[in-house]
Amino acid sequence: MTQAPVNVTVTGAAGQIGYALLFRIASGQLLGQDVPVKLRLLEIPQAVKAAEGTAMELEDGAFPLLAGTDIFDDPKQAFEGTNIALLVGARPRSKGMERGDLLEANGGIFKPQGEAINAGAADDIKVLVVGNPANTNALIARSHAPDVPADRFTAMTRLDHNRALAQLAKKLGVPVTELKKVAIWGNHSATQYPSVQHAEFGGKAIADAVDQAWLENDFIPTVAKRGAAIIEARGLSSAASAASAAIDHVYTWVNGTPAGDWTSAAVASDGSYGVPEGLISSFPVTAENGQYKIVQGLEIDDFSRARIDASVAELVEERDTVQKLGLI
C-alpha cells in the first residue's frame, strides 16, 4: 500500500447507520479497493464508549485497507485534516416537537460542525449530510463554512433514488441495471418527487410502459413515504439501506457516473429549473472529475413542474425558518 490513507470522518458513529456504515468503509467500498482509509469518529460524550466498542470490532475485522480509527467528542478535532465527512448524527424528532424546534436543535449540531470543517478540513473536503432534515442541515453546515466551495456540501437523496429503482425494477420485471435516468427532485421528505419523466429501461421510455395512475397513486407515494413505512415495520428508521446509499453517494462522487446515465443527489442549486440559488435540493446529477453537476436542459412537463415546485416550497420554508432562528 503506497498511497497515504484518506481521512474519513463519520459523525453519529455509535448510532445504527454508523454501525452499518463503518465496516463497509473499512472494507474499501466507499472509495475503492486500492484506497486505504483512516476513520475519525465523532460522537457526543455519552456515546463515546459505545463508539469505542465499534472501534474494537473494526480492529477485529483486520481490514487490510483500514489504517486506524480515532474517536473524538470535539468536532474541531474530528474534522482536522479530513477529506470526506459523513454527517450522520442528528437530533431525532421527539414527541410533541414542532418542525421549527427540530430545525433549531439540529442547528446546534450542524453549525459547529460547519465551523470545524471550515477551520480544519483538507482542501479537497467532500461533505455528505445524512442526518435529518438532511437538506437543511447541509445548508446550515455550509453557511458556517464560507471558505469551502459551496458544491462540497451535499445531502443524501440516493436512498430515495435507490428505492425508486427498486420499485420500478419490480413493476417492469427487469433488473435495476436496465434502468436509466430516474430522478429524485426536491427535499428528502414526503414531498420529494421521484420522476420517471426522462427514465428509460432497455432503451424504452418508462413513462410509456406504466400508467399515470400507478405513478401517482402507487410509485410516488411508495418511494416518498418509504422511510415512514420502514419505521412502522422495524420500529427503527432505515439503517443498512441508508448506509448503503451513503456508500453509493460518495463512491459515485469520487469515481463518476456511467455514460448515458445520471443519479440523484441534493446539491447547492445554481438556479436551474427554477430552484432558488443556494438551496440544497435534489436534482438529477452526473459526477465527473470528483464533482457533482446538475443535469442541464431537461424539459419539465406540467405534472413534474407542480411536484418539483411543491417540494422546493418546503425547502424554502425550512430555509426561512433557520434564517429567522439565526442559524444561517
Which residues line the annotated binding site? 12-18, 93, 99, 106, 113, 130-132, 163
Nearest C-alpha neighbor of 22 from the set 108, 86, 103: 86
Pick from ligand NAD, ligand LMR, none: which does 230 bind, CB < 5 to 8 A by kind? ligand LMR
Q: Which is nearer to ligand NAD, 131 or 284 (CB)?
A: 131
* DSSP secondary structure letter of residue 186: B
What's the DSSP call for residue 210? Answer: S
Which listed residue (144, 161, 188, 249) is catalytic?
188
Helices (H), the chain: 16-26, 48-60, 75-78, 99-120, 134-143, 158-172, 206-209, 212-214, 220-224, 226-234, 240-255, 302-324
37-76: contacts with ligand NAD (CB under 6 A): 42-44, 47
x/- mask, ligand NAD, residues 94-113, rule CB under 6 A, reads ---------------x----
Is 188 catalytic? The answer is yes
Contacting residues toward ligand LMR, per CB under 6 A: 132, 159, 227, 230, 237-238, 242
Examine residue 133 and say whether the peptide bond preceding it is cis (omega within 30 degrees of 0): yes
Site for ligand NAD in 3-22 (CB under 6 A): 11-12, 14-18
Query: Which residues are documented as binding site for NAD(+)?
Result: 12-18, 106, 113, 130-132
Q: For residues 112-131, which are near ligand NAD according to CB under 6 A? A: 130-131
Q: Is 269 helix (H, G, I), strand (E, B) or coil?
A: coil
Decide: helix, strand or coil at residue 108. helix
Q: Quote the CA–CA distance of 65 and 260 in Å, as a whole number.
A: 32
Q: Which residue is nearest to ligand LMR (CB)?
A: 227
Residue with cell 431537461: 298
Which is closer to ligand NAD, CB of 185 or CB of 201?
A: 185
Summarize as ranges the residues that interact with ligand NAD (CB under 6 A): 11-12, 14-18, 42-44, 47, 88-90, 92, 109, 130-132, 134, 156, 159, 188, 237-239, 242
